[in-house]
A and B are shown apart, each in its own frame.
Chain A
Amino acid sequence: MNNKYLYEDLLRMSGVNPKKCMRCGKCSATCPAYDEMEYHPHQFVSMVENGDIEPLLNSDSLYKCLTCFACVDRCPRGVEPAKLVEAVRLAAVRKQGANHLKADSVPDMLDDETPQQLIVSAFRKYSK
């Protein structure tokens, strides 16, 4: 595994044990953001397990997960895929200069309906 350090970090940050996954696909079957994602919840689990983490770090899928926790609720094995997605997302945004959301780009995204709370949460989630 070329990413042993990162792999262990992800498991520690998420508390997820990907070896518990039995490849049933219920997480991806339940995911409302499925169509938006390049890598689907079950792939996060198997790719992290195989140390195939780089493609995940660079994928937009990280920011498509709604953190709705449907996958966490439904997984028969208690794997909690969303926590793994979250950990990979954190690993990505913690890299030097890898903020996914920059203050400069916010004004363009705003409209009258966007609640302030959302912007604050988005910063928490997508930037350092």
Chain B
Amino acid sequence: MQRIGVFVCWCGSNIAGTVDVQAVSDALKNEPGVVFSTNYQYMCSQAGQDMIINAVKEHNLTGIVVCSCSPRMHEATFRRTAQAAGLNPYMVEIANIREQCSWVHKDIPTGTEKAIILGKAAVAKVNLNTPLTPGESPVTKRALVIGGGIAGIQTALDIADAGFPVDIVEKKPTIGGKMAQLDKTFPTLDCAACILTPKMVDVAQNDKIRIFSYSEVTDVKGFVGNFDVTIKKNARYVKEDICTGCGACVEKCPMKKVPNEFNLGMDNRSAIYIPFAQAVPKVATIDPNACNMLKNGKCGLCARVCAAGAIDYTQKDEYIEEKYGAIVVATGFNPISMDKFDEFAYNQSKDVITSLEFERLTNAAGPTAGKLLRPSDGKHPHTIVFVQCVGSRCDACAEKGKEYCSKICCMYTAKHAMLTRDKYPDTDVYVFYIDVRTPGKNFDEFYRRAVEEYGVHYVKGMVGKVVPEGDKLKVQASDLLENKQLHIDADLVVLAAAIEPDKSARPLATMLTASMDTNDFFTEAHPKLRPVESPTAGVFLSGACQGPKDIPETVSQAGAAASKVIGLLAKDKLTGNPCIAHSNELMCNGCSSCERVCPYGAITYEDKEFRMPDRTTLVRRIAVVNPAVCQGCGACTVACPSGAMDLHGFASGQIMAEVDAICK
């Protein structure tokens, strides 16, 4: 028989406000096995923990029930307390009477009744608890970073700096991400290339970092410290190690009319291409959908001009398998499609552009060599209308817009408006805003400079429609402060499109068993206290894949994620979770049901000899769980038709005892 102590926490008024804690500790006193029951203001405080330790010693307790907040909050704390008192940490059970009780109930009688029931269930479970000892697993001292934008670059550099090898997997032919496409960057207006490209070169030259560009992660198995990852290197039809990036092939290629994605389709590239001059790796890539040779075997010019002999039309996709101890997701964001916003005439007029297109139009390496010219006729625009919040803060239609604020557009729009007025003082610049949101160091000052020093017209209101007429764009808008409807003849309209996570993020999250919110941003383990970790152990988050972010924030998060990875890789062994599955060999009939449902591949089968009556033997196939791989998810225990699979710490008997206690 166990000797159980019950400790009911008030959590200040969080619990005590809706639960009569005295009544709970009194009621639980009479449960089977309970020899001591008390309540206290803050059980997790030093005084509260001392109270538990003393009670264990005084009453010879063998098990502990803490009625408090969610186990996600303090289970680990109270397990340590138990250990300090000389108990096995797995002899502790938490009854969640805060999140699942006091916070959801309004009146004391209901809250108290439910708290007592939850407490009884926990007591019933502890009665069947047995001491457990966690195993250990080794750590592969190598990290994987998925996505090579500024987030991935910074994370990789920081991890490599601590001496650990890192691989970056980037799906585009070059690393750099969105930042490589930007012109100047708020709030200091230094040019993106000047601060990004040196970092890209650092990555290329760092002997601890390998870049898998034009590649994707296709499979992830294993668990924290021991991930097995399959990387698909897409065929680029150019031998990466031989190509010198001279560009002779690019010049000679006759297929010159392929929309250039780096410039968002505002100019063309050839079928064999290097995205931009500072690309890393600086290696050519053949676009199989555009190359004549690959499509119908006619051409082969690039192979002839390539002095290094790097072109290989027979190259195949290659699959690489590698082990990692930690994985960082840094898949970034994209502006949303403007197709559904007919009112802004984006698909009708070339002169209605997105802000990212505007970046390319003002970038010295862009399609106009940095001159601000209208895409339609190459003329200098004299009146420019910027529209903020296009598709952001929009909950009317999920297919069209996003409910959240995209966070970066107020600032980059102020930047665009200011730079335009600086370079072309003869241009009239209007910015239509719902709110101007500029929290951040030197951010509001930056926006005010656009208004006060550069004379940008900020108008409180939205643009309702844009109609192309002749060579003008008729803009109809609200000025809410003047209570007027404005009509502006604009030459260029720039839409600050909402941003969304990369489309590949959702399948990637499934592969990693990492969770996402309804908008497909990766969720952090705790929004305040663990912002760079995913709830899945060993998976970390960096940059805009976790939520809209500007560069300063991205870089801080990238460094934070790196430090978490370093903390993990610095360990030689990880303590595992002892609450794992095990099969009862007498009941298992080797049906393979469990193997099919195990998401971690922890189950194998072996043929075992059993002694039968009359000295005969029988060989039977039975399931065996690899304790280092099993994560204790319990899928197998449900799938097993013969009831042979069970979980340590969550045994069917324990769960049934809890249910019985609740239903009594």
Contacts from A to B (Cβ < 8 Å) = 20, 22-31, 34-35, 40, 42-43, 70, 74-78
Contacts and interface: CB of A to CB of B under 8 A. Distances in A.
Residue of B389, B463, B478 with highest tally of chain A CB at under 10 A: B478
Interface in B191-246: none
B462 interface: yes
15 contacts: A23-B480, A24-B389, A24-B478, A25-B460, A28-B478, A28-B480, A29-B478, A29-B485, A31-B485, A35-B485, A42-B480, A70-B464, A75-B396, A76-B393, A77-B396
A29 B395 contact: no
B590 interface: no
B609 interface: no
Contacts of B397: 78
Contact of B395 (A28, A43, A78): A78
Given A34-B485, A42-B478, A76-B401, A25 B395 contact: no
Given A26-B464, A29-B461, A29-B462, 15 more contacts: A25-B477, A25-B478, A25-B480, A29-B463, A29-B476, A30-B343, A30-B464, A30-B465, A35-B485, A40-B483, A42-B480, A74-B343, A76-B394, A77-B393, A77-B394
A82 to B, nearest CB: 14
Interface of B: 343, 389, 393-397, 401, 434, 460-465, 476-480, 483, 485
Residue of B401, B460, B485 with highest tally of chain A CB at under 10 A: B485
B396 A76 contact: yes
Contacts of A34: 485
Nearest to A80: B396
A74 B478 CA distance: 13
Nearest to B479: A25
Residue of A26, A40, A70, A74 with highest tally of chain B CB at under 10 A: A26
Given A35-B485, A76-B401, A25 B394 contact: no
Give 5 nearest A-B pairs by CB, closest first: A29-B464, A30-B464, A25-B478, A78-B396, A26-B462
A16 B478 CA distance: 22
A22 B396 contact: no
A25 B395 CA distance: 16
B395 A26 contact: no
B396 A28 contact: no
Contacts of A31: 464, 485
Residue of A23, A25, A26 with highest tally of chain B CB at under 10 A: A25
Contacts of A76: 389, 393-396, 401
Contacts of A29: 461-465, 476-478, 485
A40 to B, nearest CB: 7
B462 A25 contact: yes
Contacts of A40: 483, 485
Contacts of A23: 434, 480
B395 A74 contact: no
A98 B343 CA distance: 37
Contacts of A78: 395-397
A27 B371 CA distance: 35
B478 A26 contact: yes
Contacts of B462: 24-26, 29
A25 B465 CA distance: 12
A31 B464 CA distance: 8
A20 B394 CA distance: 11
Nearest to B462: A26
Contacts of B461: 24-25, 28-29
Contacts of B393: 22, 76-77
A76 B387 CA distance: 14
A40 B480 CA distance: 10
